[in-house]
């Protein structure tokens, strides 16, 4: 009971303080004060309206208004002005003076829009805005709006303003305006028209730029809707002069409205054509940024046109403009998000990179016995090349070179071996998940149908089976051949490939009880990142038309002939992505540990195939007694964790990116899990080996 009284007393005290704060604000309204003072007064008033906490004797409205506390505070504000008539006229004049002396064009055009050209300029702009808010001394309503409504939730209660409350606020705004000298204090209609002209110019400028124009199908620039939009805006303004003075809309004016709206729709359709061209021929972040900004300006132009065309009673005009204000507040909040800018600008590029990885990943999924045995052979070849990689790595480490030099040579060793695998059509198991995950994600589009669910389950099982075959093929070759090389060198030359101390240290470093799982997960991140580089390279090659540049190069045609230049261009088109991906992965595996170690951040590559070869070499050096050493079996367990983490982490990262880069319907996750478990429990061996296809029954002869 005592705690309840204390809580009630605290709430009553806070509400009394809020009431006194409002009294002080209303009493200090001064229309003759400098603009900065009046702006600061309006900002404090807006913050009081949005402040949390109940008022003394607060009564909440019914229905929609009861959801928003600012509506209750606005009613309280109006009640305070009714009880104190001496405050009402100064408050109204102060509000009108702020509107009359401020510039609304920037609010209507630039709010929510990046002003600086290019993605990086917009990024710097958003960071500066987040760190340095605008001062209240500016005549810019856009800056004033961002200071008054710093929270994006303000758009919700502004848009849901009850009609009766809105009418009371409008009546307050027009209080005593007949007695003022400045009767034309609200230039909002003219500002709307100027803002529409400004947006039309910006939309046309982007649409007629070479980056956008070259990706549209119009044979001449004069046929583009971006070219015709400016003239249509001029005709609309000329036909609407009488309408702006209050006359009813005439027939020519209605026709111009329809023409203008049709051109706006054509501009939006042209923007979608640019996306289709980018999706097919390569994505540029700068072009995506320009198109996204143009689409936002088209939507803003439609909203301004709706507000300008609202004709009728004052309440109808005000309701349309309040909806516009809510949109501007929401857009202003979204424009401050760096994540939103990155999502819209890089989303299409991420999807293109993912689709490139998905196309590559399709070749790494064995769906039948023939493909399964092919993958097994490719994995055995990859394991054989890894044997060479392991021993060259030991030679580099035994030279005791400076850390960065050793890292560079190790990266060159990895990169050359990966390139050799690629051109010999071999495979390394841990490189597959980053490619196969996007291919699996594409199957999620149709999981809401029985056939789509069966296809997805079959694809997941085939992926697991293929990955198991790849790991088995790599390890089945690298372990015995590394052991064989060590025994051969020991028997022929009477020496070991590595010292026994190095062999003991190798086994200890792979222990599952140490940092091996962490390093294995970090290695998987590098494996995933190399797939991004590969997809980006393919997109860059297509975006800049490098294939056509090579095929039609005069010097190449003179040296190689037309067919030779065409074959070179085709070879570059097929190999640029995997070559750059393999080079990047190799040098990352060598240089990233060296660079991090130089900064006192120890990191070592923990790759399942390379580590298995190192363990086999250590066993050959230490001999049979090592089988009784617990360090060996802890290292074997560590290699098992490497297999899981190398595959699992890179697959999870690639799968998550694939889901985020395209609008996929996930369906019912429980249903997907049940379908997967049902297929596995029906025949667990399907995860390790493909089933033999059912034989067709022969028809009996007549």
Domain end marker among 336, 356, 388: 336
- Main-chain phi, psi angles of 140, to 5 degrees: -100, 115
Residue 228 pLDDT class (50, 70, 90 cuts): very high
According to the model, what pLDDT value does residue 250 have?
Answer: 83
Q: Is the pLDDT of residue 77 over 70?
A: yes
Q: Is the pLDDT of residue 511 over 50?
A: yes
Residue 419 falls inside a structural domain: yes
Q: Is the pLDDT of residue 666 over 60?
A: no
Alpha carbon separation from 214 to 218, 224, 281 (Å, rounded): 9, 11, 12
**Is 67 in the same domain as 208?**
no
Residue 693 falls inside a structural domain: no
**Is 35 in the same domain as 56?**
yes
Q: Is the pLDDT of residue 210 over 70?
A: yes
Q: What average pLDDT does this structure show over 594-603?
A: 84
Comparing 301-315, 389-403, 557-571, the range with the smallest average pLDDT is 301-315
Query: Could you report the per-residue pLDDT of 369-427, keeping only the tens digit for each?
Result: 777 788 888 889 988 999 999 999 988 988 888 888 999 999 999 999 999 988 888 88
Q: Is the pLDDT of residue 665 over 60?
A: no
Task: Return the top range by mean pLDDT from 56-60, 290-294, 685-689.
Answer: 290-294
Query: Could you report the per-residue pLDDT of 105-154, keeping only the tens digit for each?
Result: 888 887 777 666 666 677 777 777 777 778 888 888 888 888 888 776 78
**Is 269 in the same domain as 203?**
yes
According to the model, what pLDDT value does residue 317 have?
Answer: 66
Residue 427 falls inside a structural domain: yes
DSSP string, 425-465: T---GGGSHHHHHHHHHHGGGGTTSHHHHHHHHHHHHHHHH
Q: How far apart are CA 371 and CA 459, in angstroms?
A: 14
Q: What is the CA radius of gyration of the chain?
A: 35
Query: Could you report the per-residue pLDDT of 514-533, keeping only the tens digit for each?
Result: 889 999 999 888 888 887 78
Comparing 142-146, 164-168, 356-360, the range with the smallest average pLDDT is 356-360
Residue 296 falls inside a structural domain: yes
According to the model, what pLDDT value does residue 358 have?
Answer: 52
- Main-chain phi, psi angles of 543, to 5 degrees: -60, -45
Residue 69 pLDDT class (50, 70, 90 cuts): confident
**Is 16 in the same domain as 95?**
yes
Q: At what angle do helices 69-83 and 35-50 cross, to 10 degrees?
A: 120
DSSP string, 193-261: HHHHHHHHHHHHHHHTSHHHHTTS--SSGGGSHHHHHHHHHHHHHHHTHHHHTTPPPPHHHHHHHHHHH
Q: Output DSSP code: residue 64.
A: G
Task: Return the top range by mean pLDDT from 57-61, 119-123, 560-564.
Answer: 560-564
Label residues 298-319 b or e (16+ Cβ within 10 Å = b): bebbebbbebbebeeeeeebbb
Q: Is the pLDDT of residue 438 over 90?
A: no
According to the model, what pLDDT value does residue 16 have?
Answer: 44
Q: Is the pLDDT of residue 182 over 70?
A: no
According to the model, what pLDDT value does residue 20 have?
Answer: 62
**Is 36 in the same domain as 125?**
no
Mean pLDDT of the chain: 79
Q: Beta strands of 309-393 (E only): which ranges?
A: none
Q: Is the pLDDT of residue 344 over 90?
A: no
- The domain in which residue 232 lies consists of 104-141+187-336
Percent of the chain with pLDDT over 90: 13
Q: Which residue has the higher pLDDT, 96 or 321?
A: 96
Domain containing 468 — which CATH number? 1.20.1080.10
Q: How many domains does the chain have?
A: 3
Comparing 54-68, 269-283, 429-443, the range with the smallest average pLDDT is 54-68
According to the model, what pLDDT value does residue 608 have?
Answer: 87
Do the Cβ atoms of 176 and 92 come closer than 8 Å?
yes
Residue 571 falls inside a structural domain: no
Comparing 361-365, 403-407, 468-472, the range with the smallest average pLDDT is 361-365
Q: Is the pLDDT of residue 678 over 80?
A: no
Q: Is the pLDDT of residue 102 over 50?
A: yes
Burial class (CB in 10 A: 0-12, 13-18, 19+), 654: buried
**Is 222 in the same domain as 88?**
no
Residue 37 falls inside a structural domain: yes
Residue 53 pLDDT class (50, 70, 90 cuts): low
**Is 131 in the same domain as 4?**
no
Q: Select from 136, 140, 135 the least CA-distant residue to 111.
A: 140
End-to-end CA distance of the chain: 98
Residue 197 pLDDT class (50, 70, 90 cuts): very high
Domain end marker among 294, 317, 336: 336
Residue 216 falls inside a structural domain: yes
**Is 133 in the same domain as 91?**
no
According to the model, what pLDDT value does residue 686 have?
Answer: 63
Q: Which residue has the higher pLDDT, 282 or 183?
A: 282
**Is 667 in the same domain as 623?**
yes
Q: Select from 677, 695, 673, 672 the least CA-distant residue to 687.
A: 677
Residue 292 falls inside a structural domain: yes
Q: At what angle do helices 285-309 and 119-131 cross, to 10 degrees?
A: 70
Percent of the chain with pLDDT over 70: 77
Q: pTM of the full predicted structure?
A: 0.62
Query: Could you report the per-residue pLDDT of 626-661, keeping only the tens digit for each?
Result: 888 898 999 999 988 988 888 778 877 776 666 665
**Is 10 in the same domain as 94?**
yes
**Is 92 in the same domain as 154?**
yes
DSSP string, 611-635: HHHHHHHHHHHH-GGGGG-HHHHHH
**Is 278 in the same domain as 418?**
no
């Amino acid at each position: 009971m005592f705690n309840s009284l204390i809580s009630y007393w605290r709430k009553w005290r806070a509400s009394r303080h809020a009431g006194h704060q409002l009294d002080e604000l209303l009493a200090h309204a001064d229309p003759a004060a400098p603009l900065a003072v009046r702006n600061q007064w309006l900002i404090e008033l807006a913050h009081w309206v949005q402040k949390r906490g109940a008022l003394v004797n607060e009564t909440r409205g019914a229905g929609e208004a009861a959801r928003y506390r600012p509506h209750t505070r606005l009613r309280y504000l109006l009640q305070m002005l009714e009880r104190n008539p001496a405050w009402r006229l100064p408050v109204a004049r102060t509000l009108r003076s702020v509107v009359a002396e401020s510039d609304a064009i920037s609010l209507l055009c630039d709010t929510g829009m990046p002003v600086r050209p290019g993605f990086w300029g917009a990024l710097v702009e958003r960071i500066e805005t987040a760190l340095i808010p605008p001062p209240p001394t500016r005549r810019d309503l856009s800056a004033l709006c961002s200071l008054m409504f710093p929270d994006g939730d303000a758009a919700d209660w502004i848009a849901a303003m009850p009609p009766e409350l809105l009418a009371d606020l409008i009546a307050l705004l027009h209080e005593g305006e007949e007695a003022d000298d400045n009767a034309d204090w609200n230039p909002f209609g003219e500002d709307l028209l100027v803002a529409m002209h400004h947006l039309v110019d910006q939309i046309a400028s982007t649409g007629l730029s070479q980056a956008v124009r070259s990706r549209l199908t119009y044979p001449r620039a004069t046929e583009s809707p971006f070219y015709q939009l400016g003239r249509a805006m001029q005709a609309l303004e000329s036909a609407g002069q009488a309408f702006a003075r209050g006359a009813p809309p005439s027939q020519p004016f209605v026709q111009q409205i329809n023409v203008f709206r049709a051109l706006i729709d054509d501009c939006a359709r042209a923007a979608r054509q640019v996306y289709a061209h980018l999706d097919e021929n390569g994505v540029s972040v700068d072009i995506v940024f320009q198109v996204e900004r143009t689409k936002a300006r088209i939507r803003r132009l439609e909203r301004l046109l709706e507000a300008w065309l609202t004709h009728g009673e004052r309440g109808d005009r005000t309701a349309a403009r309040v909806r516009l204000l809510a949109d501007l507040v929401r857009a202003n909040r979204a424009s401050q998000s760096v994540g939103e800018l990155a999502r819209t600008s890089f989303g299409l590029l991420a999807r293109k990179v993912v689709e490139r990885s998905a196309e590559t990943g399709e070749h790494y999924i064995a769906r039948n016995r023939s493909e399964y045995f092919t993958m097994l052979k490719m994995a055995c070849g990859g394991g054989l090349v890894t044997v060479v990689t392991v021993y060259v790595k030991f030679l580099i480490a035994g030279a005791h070179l400076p850390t960065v030099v050793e890292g560079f040579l190790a990266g060159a060793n990895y990169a050359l071996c990966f390139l050799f695998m690629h051109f010999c059509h071999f495979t390394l198991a841990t490189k597959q998940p980053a490619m196969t995950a996007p291919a699996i994600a594409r199957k999620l589009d149709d999981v809401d149908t029985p056939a789509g669910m069966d296809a997805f389950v079959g694809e997941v099982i085939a992926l697991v089976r293929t990955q198991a075959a790849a790991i088995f093929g790599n390890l089945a070759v690298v372990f015995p051949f590394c052991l064989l090389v060590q025994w051969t060198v020991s028997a022929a030359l009477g020496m070991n490939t590595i010292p026994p101390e190095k062999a003991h240290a190798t086994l200890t470093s792979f222990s599952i009880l140490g940092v091996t799982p962490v390093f294995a997960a970090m290695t998987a991140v590098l494996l995933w990142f190399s797939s991004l580089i590969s997809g980006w390279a393919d997109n860059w090659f297509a975006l800049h038309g490098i294939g056509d540049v090579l095929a039609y190069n005069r010097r190449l045609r003179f040296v190689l002939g037309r067919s030779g230049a065409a074959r070179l261009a085709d070879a570059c088109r097929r190999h640029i992505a995997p070559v750059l991906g393999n080079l990047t992965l190799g040098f990352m595996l060598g240089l990233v540990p060296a660079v991090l170690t130089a900064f006192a951040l120890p990191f070592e590559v923990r790759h399942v195939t390379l580590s298995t070869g190192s363990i086999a070499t250590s066993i050959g050096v230490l001999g049979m007694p090592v089988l009784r050493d617990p360090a060996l079996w802890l290292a074997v367990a560590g290699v098992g964790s490497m297999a899981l983490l190398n595959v699992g982490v890179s697959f999870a990262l690639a799968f998550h990116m694939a889901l985020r880069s395209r609008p996929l319907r996930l369906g019912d996750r429980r249903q997907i899990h049940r379908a997967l478990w049902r297929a596995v429990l029906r025949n667990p061996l399907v995860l390790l080996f493909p089933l033999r296809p059912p034989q067709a029954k022969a028809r009996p002869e007549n």
